[in-house]
Chain A
Amino acid sequence: EVQLVESGGGLVQPGGSLRLSCAASGFTFSSYWMSWVRQAPGKGLEWVANIKQDGSEKYYVDSVKGRFTISRDNAKNSLYLQMNSLRAEDTAVYYCARDQKFDYWGQGTLVTVSS
């Protein structure tokens, strides 16, 4: 059974940093693109970043470029999102999703940026 479990969310002050993790199981992690997608409270879905199977290609939405870094560790079946210089508008539930078609999603982890 495919499982994606996010962790690392929490309350952080503006300008602070947070590192999200996504633990994958039930499939060959190294064979799939992986993405982060976020959803601000009461709002729609926004793709944040994705990363190729071997980490050689990474793409970001403009609003997080230079602040967020997506990475993966295929030996640990894990996806990461390093978030720096956090802003109030980054407050959202962050989901990891598998493949370029987002066929499986985690349950999400809530990031709240507030003083």
Chain B
Amino acid sequence: DIVMTQTPLSLSVTPGQPASISCKSSQSLLHSDGKTYLYWYLQKPGQSPQLLIYEVSSRFSGVPDRFSGSGSGTDFTLKISRVEAEDVGVYYCMQGIHPPLTFGGGTKVEIK
């Protein structure tokens, strides 16, 4: 199984400041079709998870452009350029290249 490792476990950020979350996979997520199947989700308190980024760097519909994804192979990063109060919650990365699909352990983001 592909293991997804997220760091840090938690992050406390001043509003308006940037934040960055790392996600590393135990195997390359580059598929033979040329796509890299790495996703980012945010689960706000008391809510279902929501898709932020798909295939490493494509923002899902309605996701603010302060969210960006980057990386390749086994190393990936989610960046928030200027954190806002509504960005609090737990962020998860997930690999979709091989079943079983696996999530990172999550990074809890809170506001200072």
Return the contact of B99 from the options A44, A50, A104, A105 (Cβ within 8 A): A50
**Chain B interface bracket (under 10, 10 to 19, 20 to 34, 35 or more):** 20 to 34
B100 contacts A45, CB within 8 Å?
A: no
Count of chain A residues near B, Cβ 8 A? 21
With a CB–CB cut-off of 8 A, which chain B residues contact A104? 51
- B102 interfacial by beta-carbon distance below 8 Å: yes
How many Å lie between the Cα of A60 and that of B48 in the bound state?
21
Return the contact of A47 from the options B51, B55, B103 (Cβ within 8 A): B103
Chain A residue at smallest Cβ distance from B102: A47
Q: A102-B51, A105-B50 are in contact. Are A45 and B99 (CB under 8 A)?
A: no
How many Å lie between the Cα of A67 and that of B36 in the bound state?
31
Q: A101-B39, A101-B54, A102-B41 are in contact. Are A47 and B100 (CB under 8 A)?
A: yes
Chain B residue at smallest Cβ distance from A59: B99
Give the distance to chain B from A3, nearest Cβ to Cβ, in Å. 12
- B94 interfacial by beta-carbon distance below 8 Å: yes
> Which A residues, 6 to 48, have Cβ-Cβ distances below 8 Å to chain B?
35, 37, 44-47
Can you spell out 13 A-B residue pairs with CB atoms less than 8 angstroms apart? Answer: A35-B101, A44-B104, A44-B106, A45-B43, A47-B94, A47-B101, A47-B102, A62-B100, A95-B48, A100-B96, A101-B39, A102-B39, A105-B48
> What residues of chain A have their CB less than 8 Å away from a CB belonging to chain B?
35, 37, 44-47, 50, 59-62, 95, 100-108
> What residues of chain B have their CB less than 8 Å away from a CB belonging to chain A?
1, 37, 39, 41, 43, 48-51, 54-55, 60, 90, 92, 94, 96, 99-106
